[in-house]
Amino acid sequence: MTTEDQHRAVIASEFRPARWLTHRHLQTILPALPWTYRHRPALRRESLELPDGDVTAVDWAAEADAFPDDAPLLVILHGLESSSDSSYSRMLMQAATNKGWRSCVLNFRDCADYRNRLPRRYHAGETSDLQHFLKTLSQTLSSRAIVAAGYSLGGNVLLKYLGEAGTLSHLRAAVAVCVPLDLHLCSEALNSGFSRIYQRYLLGHMKSSVRRKFNRDTAAFDWERAMHARTFAEFDDAVTAPLHGFTGMRDYYDRCSSGQYLKDIATPTLIINALDDPFMTPGVIPHRDRLSPQVTLEISERGGHVGFVSGGTPWRPKFYLPGRVIGFLERYL
């Protein structure tokens, strides 16, 4: 084994599920319930003007405004149809604040009840907005270390950005959680068994977002196909692809699956995925030889999708991810 192969780390996770929450669907669903994590950090919203004339929103942890100018900055990327209001974002912002770090959530276009201007939204491979935001931060915060964490679709965006940027990345370190590394396989997984429930729920939100932004006369896509889509593949073929310059769903998935970018990452990066994640199959887990020497792949037997409930009670659960994410990033600050 070469020295390079030795540094391509695939490790077993130390996560152990709470005894009362071992099932993958319960691990996935419980953290999304509003009463499992009630704390809501005060947020300060800023508009981010984008190079193509569009706009999106950045939500900052207001409590950290008083921190020193050289405090580290954590940028968080949310998942599909989510925002800074997600429990995982709020948990991580609070964990960063407790460490004395500043933090923010870069909301994707048309998310967080913030309407963008152009006739488009966001997708799993949209890295230009993140690249622009990080470049802006690095120019205005030259003395501050910047790190990032992405969840689910946001993790895919983060890994794709890191692979595209290579040695020119503006990040000191990064963590990506429950990443759909192969969009084809994830689309198939979500159209199987109980996972169809998640697909139906998220598709409902996606269609509502589309109806809020477009109508039958203004849509730059087949409105009937979009409204009658029953799977992610159908929706992405009808809406996501034409809105964002892809020839179809297959072209979109081929070009935007982040697994193909892992070998080019030059930033210390941790990927955390669970084998029982109902949003994907174990087939998305890449072989060691597809990782760059800077990537550590942490595989957990359990955890569900962005769940990782490690203890506590159903009314006050404890979560593994915030401490693990902060702990990894802290090593590079």
CB 272 within 8 A of CB 177: yes
Residue in 132, 136, 128, 73 with CA at minimum distance from that of residue 105: 73
Query: Residue 5 has what pLDDT?
Result: 40
Q: Is 208 tagged catalytic?
A: no
Query: Residue 3 has what pLDDT?
Result: 38
Q: Is 277 tagged catalytic?
A: yes
Q: Is 305 tagged catalytic?
A: yes
Q: What is the DSSP letter of 200?
A: H
The encoded tokens of residue 240 equal 């996501």
DSSP 36-100: T------EEEEEEE-TTS-EEEEEEEGGGGGS-TTS-EEEEE--TT--TTSHHHHHHHHHHHHTT
Query: Residue 8 has what pLDDT?
Result: 56
Query: Residue 133 has what pLDDT?
Result: 98
- What domains sit in the chain, N to C, each tagged with a CATH number? 3-182+261-330 (3.40.50.1820), 184-256 (no CATH)
Given the residues 86, 152, 300, 310, select the one marked as catalytic.
152
**Non-local CB neighbours of 2 within 8 Å, separated by 6+ positions:** none
Task: Give pLDDT tens digits along the chain (333 positions).
Answer: 333 344 559 999 999 999 999 999 999 999 999 889 989 999 999 999 999 999 999 999 999 999 998 999 999 999 999 999 999 999 999 999 999 999 999 999 999 999 999 999 999 999 999 999 999 999 988 778 999 999 999 999 999 999 999 999 999 999 999 999 999 999 999 999 999 999 999 999 999 999 999 999 999 999 999 999 999 999 999 999 999 999 999 999 999 999 999 999 999 999 999 999 999 999 999 999 999 999 999 999 999 999 999 999 999 999 999 999 999 999 999
Quote the pTM value. Answer: 0.96
H-run or E-run covering 326: helix 321-330
Given the residues 129, 236, 276, 277, select the one marked as catalytic.
277
**Non-local CB neighbours of 281 within 8 Å, separated by 6+ positions:** 185, 188, 189
Query: Residue 197 has what pLDDT?
Result: 97
Dihedral sign, Cα of residue 119, residue 103, residue 272, residue 145: positive
Residue in 106, 90, 78 with CA at minimum distance from that of residue 41: 90
Given the residues 78, 123, 170, 305, select the one marked as catalytic.
305
Torsion of CA 318, 320, 322, 326, to 10 degrees: 140
Q: Calculate ∠ Cα 147-85-193, nearest 5°.
A: 95
